[in-house]
Homo-oligomer: A and B are copies of this chain.
Amino acid sequence: MTRQERRRQTEERILGAARALFAEVGYERATIRGVAAAAGVDPALVMQYFGAKDELFRRAIHAPGEQPLEIAPERLADLLLEAIRFKLGETDDGSLALFRSMLTHPDAAEHFRTATARQVREFATGIPRPDGELRASLLVAISMGLTIARELLRLEPLQEATPEQIVDLLRPAFQSLSASG
């Protein structure tokens, strides 16, 4: 194995450990030393590779292949429900790290705000109404609340339910919010 490969591999291991730790305890309680220990590496190396804790976090929450989903104006509700069903149960640590930290870490909050604003505008094009953006915001708020309650707070009834069950119950709600008529 070449030197460059080994270096890249170590960096990826640190990034993975960081993602997991940020997702588990949030930005403030996750320490450089903790990340380094989880990655089997010296804390100074983390600094050397990422410069600062903020930068490490920024890299950690940056999901690799996050392509925007297509919007068919009428089937928006179904598409969103599909996305939620997919995400529930298999939410990636990057997103969880962002969710976990966005209430206490200003950078995380800002990142989420801009990402959400883009998503809201995107959804809103599928809801041709004067209050389209508000409806889209509610859709985002609802799915955010759902992920937080189930994956982070681990509320019992939600955690035990299957994604299909949840999505079925949520369908009327999403349809009424995304109704274009």
CA distance A144 to B28 in the complex (A): 22
From B131, B141, B161, A149 is in contact (CB under 8 Å) with B141
CA distance A143 to B141 in the complex (A): 9
Kindly report how many copies of this chain are found in the complex they form together: 2
Q: Which residues 73-103 of A have a CB within 8 angstroms of B?
A: 99-103
- Does A26 have its Cβ within 8 Å of any Cβ on chain B? yes
Interface residues on A, range: 35 or more
From B25, B28, B148, B157, A134 is in contact (CB under 8 Å) with B157
Are B141 and A150 in contact (CB-based, < 8 A)? yes
Least CB distance from A34 to B in Å reads 14
Closest partner residue, chain B, to A143 (CB atom)? B145
Which 3 interchain pairs have the tightest Cβ spacing? A145-B145, A173-B173, A172-B176
